[in-house]
Amino acid sequence: MVDLKNQYLKIKNEIDDAIINCVENTQFINGPSVNTFQNALQSYLNVKHVIPCANGTDSLQIAMMALDLKPGDEVICPAFTYVATAEVIGLLGLIPVMVDVDPNTFNITAEIIEQAITTKTKAIVPVHLYGQSCDMEPIINLAKKHKLFIIEDNAQAIGSEYTFSDGTRAKTGTMGDIGSISFFPSKNLGCFGDGGALTTNNDELAYKMRMIANHGQEVKYFHKILGCNSRLDTIQAAILNVKLKKLDEYIDSRNQMSKYYDLKLESNKKVQIPVRQKNSNHVFHQYTLRVKDGARNDLQKYLSVHKIPSMIYYPFPLYKQPAFEKYVPFDFVIPNVEQLCSEVISIPIHTEINLEHMNYICEKINQF
């Protein structure tokens, strides 16, 4: 699905130097690269604060902890997302309210969110799925109207940009109260292990989240609130410093690959190519097709026989997972989401374009 080996080989010297530097310097925790990376990411995203942390699940959890939500408060999130989004909500004793998504963009919308708002609703978690921004303007207006917090799950869309109706633009993760990023190796900006970060323009929230990520301490050995231990390793930050400079180039490569796939697959009536929104660019964390006529599983088998990797993100709605069944009535169903779970298939998309591979993949899909 990704070609991390060849990506590494192209920047091997820089990466190896950065790692050796950390090893020789021995400041493995909070070394100088962490601060450098934090500042570089702040300017890349044009956001006031970046708080590095251990992974993209912790960042969601730290975000929720910083908002002073109370057990029983409801947090609206899509039912069609990675487990982490809803998991942290449940872990903190909050209620994940899992809702539908737009079947074209795979993202939640203001209309869908509005139907789920109750007197207990305190926050919304829009997930910018597969690399495209949710339609944020109406979501922000809705949140203002109902006094709800917005935590953007930006794990898959770093670098994506949204355009408001007045023409102003903002990077995903900088439009809500807090944004959450993952640097898992296969994400668009991936490190060589786990890593994550929080983004916010709110000074107070930034201060609090930094404290929570560091055992709730303001000053060493003075613990003001309950926190956790969630840090970005110095070595991972050093790697990210090298790779952040390449991020726009990586996004370009993914877009080139997506355009080629579009070209070869758009006339195939049995698959739906990704729908591109007008007000967001796409960073193609995933290139996800919808396969018609119940043929998705057979297509996946066919691709596998021909040695083509593919993945189903996501095979089950969250509410169907045993971990989440207590949050919904026994016969709860969201038809759109169930349909997506049975139709989607993601095919390889990454930074190391190889025309021959892309041709082969499209040829096999079209043959099928």
Length of the chain: 368
Spatial distance between the Cα atoms of 260 and 160, rounded to a whole number of angstroms: 20
Residue 59, SS3? helix
Contacts with 158 (C-beta within 8 Å, 6 or more apart), sequence order: 45, 172, 173, 181, 187, 188, 189, 247, 283
Smallest distance, ligand PLP to C-beta of residue 92, A:
15
Amino acid letter, 82: Y
DSSP label at residue 311: B
Asked if 173 interacts with ligand PLP (CB under 6 A), we say: no
Nearer to ligand PLP, 175 or 365 (CB): 175
Asked if 196 interacts with ligand PLP (CB under 6 A), we say: yes
Task: Out of 182, 214, 241, 310, point to the residue binding ligand PLP (CB under 6 A).
Answer: 182
Smallest distance, ligand PLP to C-beta of residue 155, A:
3
Smallest distance, ligand PLP to C-beta of residue 187, A:
6
Nearer to ligand PLP, 172 or 234 (CB): 172
Smallest distance, ligand PLP to C-beta of residue 196, A:
5
In angstroms, how far apart are the furthest CA atoms of the chain?
Answer: 65
Contacts with 335 (C-beta within 8 Å, 6 or more apart), sequence order: none
Asked if 274 interacts with ligand PLP (CB under 6 A), we say: no
Task: Out of 184, 261, 284, 324, point to the residue binding ligand PLP (CB under 6 A).
Answer: 184
Q: Supply 345's token pair.
A: 């298939």
Asked if 199 interacts with ligand PLP (CB under 6 A), we say: no
Smallest distance, ligand PLP to C-beta of residue 185, A:
9
Asked if 272 interacts with ligand PLP (CB under 6 A), we say: no
Task: Out of 81, 272, 286, 300, point to the residue binding ligand PLP (CB under 6 A).
Answer: 81
Contacts with 110 (C-beta within 8 Å, 6 or more apart), sequence order: 135, 138, 139, 141, 142
Q: Which of 250, 268, 264, 281 is nearest to 349 (CA)?
A: 250
Instruction: Summarize as ranges the residues that interact with ligand PLP (CB under 6 A).
Output: 55-57, 81-82, 84-85, 127, 153, 155-156, 182, 184, 194, 196
